[in-house]
Amino acid sequence: MSVETAAYRIPERAEFSASAVEMGPRLLGALLSHETDRGTVTVRITELEAYMGDGNDPGSHAYRGKTKRNAAMFGPPAHLYAYFTYGMHTCANIVCSPDGSASGCLMRGAEVVEGLELARERRGAKITDRALGRGPANLVVALGITLVDGGADLLASPFTLRLPITPPDFQVGPRTGLGGPGGGLEYPWRFWIPGERSVSPYRKHPRA
C-alpha cells in the first residue's frame, strides 16, 4: 500500500495524556516507523487493545499496581511498554495517560507499508504480506522491536509516530484471547479498522 504522508501529522506528547480507551481509536491508521542499522520498517496500525491502570482493569498488567515488569506503563506517555509473554514472544504497547497513571494500547495488527523486504526477512520468507504484522508478536518482530526497546520514546529517534489527520472508521469489541472478567463484553476495548487483512482474528477465551 502506498501512503500519502501529507495525510499524517506528528503528534504532541500531551495528546497521549488521554486514557488508552480514548487513544485507541485515535491511533488507528497511525504510522509507526523503527529505524535500525539494517534499515527502516514502517507499519500502519490497524488493530489495538486498550488496557487501563491499577485497580480499574482486571485484564491489565497494571491491575495490582506498579512492578519492575510493568514500570514503563506508569511512565511518560508516548513511550513503549514492551513485555515478554508465553516464554517466547515480545509484545508492545503505546503508553497513554499522564506520567504516573498506567494505561496503554497493545498493538495487535498492522500493515507493513515501508521496508517490506526487511520485515519479511525478519518474519520468514514464506510469510504473506497480510500476515507480516498480523498479531501482536508478529508485528513486533516485523518492526525489529525487542525487550531492550522497552521504555523508548516513540516521538524520538529511532522511532517516528505519525497520526492520521482524518481518523478512519473503526469497530469495537471485547479483547481477544483474554480470560476472566477482563475478557468479557463489559470491556469492549478492542479497536480495529474493518476490512483490513492485517487485523487478527477474534479468539474468545474459554474462561472469558
Q: Is 31 helix (H, G, I), strand (E, B) or coil?
A: strand
47 Cα distance to chain centroid? 8
What mean pLDDT value characterizes the chain? Answer: 93
Pull the grid cell for residue 72.
Answer: 514503563
Q: Answer for the pair 45, 66: CB distance below 8 angstroms, yes or no.
A: no
Assess whether pLDDT exceeds 70 at residue 16: yes
Mean pLDDT of 154-159: 98
Question: Which pLDDT band holds residue 3 (cuts at 50, 70, 90)?
Answer: confident
DSSP 206: T
Question: Which pLDDT band holds residue 2 (cuts at 50, 70, 90)?
Answer: low
Mean pLDDT of 5-22: 94
Assess whether pLDDT exceeds 60 at residue 201: yes
Give the model confidence (pLDDT) of 78-135 as tens digits.
Answer: 999 999 987 679 999 999 999 999 999 999 999 999 999 999 999 999 999 999 999 9
**pTM given for the model:** 0.94
Instruction: Look up residue 131 and give its amino acid.
Output: A
Looking at residue 56, what is its pLDDT?
A: 82
